[in-house]
């Protein structure tokens, strides 16, 4: 074999090796690209699954927190939620310099309902009054809470004292004019309400607002019940005891 033949043979072998290297490199790049795409797809799927799991967990936590803030009997917000919300609204009133209204509502002679018709009737009365008070609210920022026993609280951000009295009177009159239907029992129920509203300042506290509204409620009950009273300033708590029953 002469030199030229060897050169051609060598060139052919080199070209074959080069072509094979190019083909292998192309397949390698393709495999790497496919592998990367598959890896990215798996990562995206895992991220989506993780996000779904986190969203579900957040929703469960939200529902659990909401359940912890609801009164089991009446279905409205409970006292713990009231305390938290009042503190938040006081801060907003102080920051925005807007009036914060608070109304305490009490079912008149509630003990008589329990004694005469039984505790189930009393429970039903609380449930229906809670629904009626919730329906009386005008804005999404307003809220009604079961403060304790047969007593409710209405928290009314951005509401003047006159606005609190108007809403309380509207709810009170509607309830007094419409007997509660508890099974076959038609039960006439009245409410007493105490109102307070002010723009919070540096010295304002939740206890002060509660004391003022509670004192106004006491005045309404002391004056004969089935009425609304108001407090124009924060006053010291009144020692109760001269008004019999609820």
Say what the pLDDT of residue 239 is. 44
Active-site amino acid positions: 150
Percent of the chain exceeding pLDDT 70 equals 83
- Confidence class of residue 238 from pLDDT cuts 50, 70 and 90? very low
pLDDT at 240 over 80: no
The mean pLDDT value for 111-120 works out to: 95
Q: Look up the CATH superfamily of 79-231.
A: Reverse transcriptase/Diguanylate cyclase domain (3.30.70.270)
Closest CA to 81 of 69, 68, 71, 91: 69
pLDDT at 148 over 80: yes
Question: Backbone dihedral region of 195: left (phi > 0), alpha (psi from -120 to 50 degrees) or beta?
Answer: beta
Arithmetic mean of pLDDT over the chain: 87
**Distance, C-alpha 166 to centroid of its chain:** 25
pLDDT per residue as tens digits for the range 29-81 = 887 887 777 777 777 877 777 777 777 766 666 655 666 899 999 999 999 99
Whole-prediction pTM value? 0.73
Q: Over the range 128-148, which residues count as b (16 or more CB within 10 Å of their CB) and which as e?
A: bbbebbbebbeeeebbbbbbe
CB burial of residue 35 (10 Å; 0-12, 13-18, 19+):
exposed
What residue segments make up the domains of the chain, in order of their start? 1-68, 79-231
């Amino acid at each position: 074999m002469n030199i030229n033949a060897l050169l051609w043979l060598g060139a052919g072998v080199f070209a074959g090796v080069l072509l094979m290297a190019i083909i292998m490199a192309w397949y390698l790049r393709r495999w790497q690209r496919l592998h990367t795409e598959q890896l990215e797809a798996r990562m995206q799927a895992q991220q989506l699954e993780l996000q779904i799991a986190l969203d579900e967990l957040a929703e469960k936590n939200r529902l659990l927190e909401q359940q912890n803030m609801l009164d089991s009997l009446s279905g409205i917000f409970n006292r713990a939620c009231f305390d938290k919300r009042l503190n938040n609204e006081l801060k907003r009133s102080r920051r925005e310099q807007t009036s914060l209204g608070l109304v305490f509502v009490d079912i008149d002679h509630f003990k008589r309902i329990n004694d005469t018709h039984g505790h189930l009737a009393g429970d039903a009365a609380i449930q229906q009054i809670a629904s009626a008070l919730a329906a009386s609210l005008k804005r999404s920022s307003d809220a009604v809470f079961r403060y304790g026993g047969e007593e409710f609280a209405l928290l009314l951000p951005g509401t003047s004292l006159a606005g609190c009295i108007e809403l309380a009177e509207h709810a009170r009159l509607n309830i007094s004019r419409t007997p509660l239907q508890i099974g076959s029992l038609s039960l006439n129920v009245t409410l007493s309400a105490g109102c307070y509203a002010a723009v919070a300042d540096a010295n304002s506290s939740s206890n002060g607002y509660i004391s003022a509204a509670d004192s106004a409620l006491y005045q309404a009950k002391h004056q004969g019940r089935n009425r609304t009273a108001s407090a124009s300033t924060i006053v010291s708590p009144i020692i109760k005891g001269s008004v019999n029953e609820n």
